[in-house]
Amino acid sequence: MTAYDDGNIFSKIIKGEIPSEKLYEDANAVAIMDIMPQTRGHCLVIPKAPSRNLLDASDETLSAVMPLVAKLARAAKAAMQADGVRIAQFNEPAAGQTVFHLHFHILPMYEGVELDLHSNRSADKAALAEQAEKIRAALNAG
């Protein structure tokens, strides 16, 4: 398997080298809005530990991140008044992975509404900021 390369965009976001619409941060992980959302409220949970994807992640990394995935799923579903929430995670290009630092997609789902295509179009910044505000409020409430 290809080795981890810290030149990826999520490594830069973790290090604060490029901006993101941040929802949450602790010692182990960050949660941010996805800039090319497939659904309203699409966000990402990104462990800080360097791994390319699930296939080379340590048990410690995975154990630490899963409670945060659940926390963001609950908050995004509540904040967006979604009917359900899907979790997605891609490993290697053949599976659809485009950024090679482990991350989990949190995808609020609405009755009768299909997801947009993966990495299709950039979101309106103001809309993302508004959704982020609601998700942060739900995180603080819950």
What amino acid positions are annotated as catalytic residues? 103
| Residues whose CB falls within 8 Å of the CB of residue 139, separated by 6 or more in sequence, listed in order | 23, 24, 71, 72, 75
Which residues lie across from 84 on neighbouring strands? 109
Least Å from the CB of residue 141 to ligand 5GP: 23
Binding mask of the shown chain, residues 83 to 122, with x at each position contacting ligand 5GP by CB under 6 A? -------x-----xxxx-------------------x---
3-state secondary structure of 32: strand
Least Å from the CB of residue 105 to ligand 5GP: 6
Looking at residues 27 to 46 of the shown chain, list those that interact with ligand 5GP (rule: CB under 6 A).
Answer: 32-36
Q: Please give the single-letter amino acid code of residue 14.
A: I
Smallest Cα–Cα separation from 28: which of 68, 76, 59, 58? 68
The residue among 84 and 96 lying less far from ligand 5GP, judged by its C-beta, is: 96
Query: Could you list the residues that contact ligand 5GP (CB under 6 A)?
Result: 9, 20, 32-36, 90, 96-99, 119
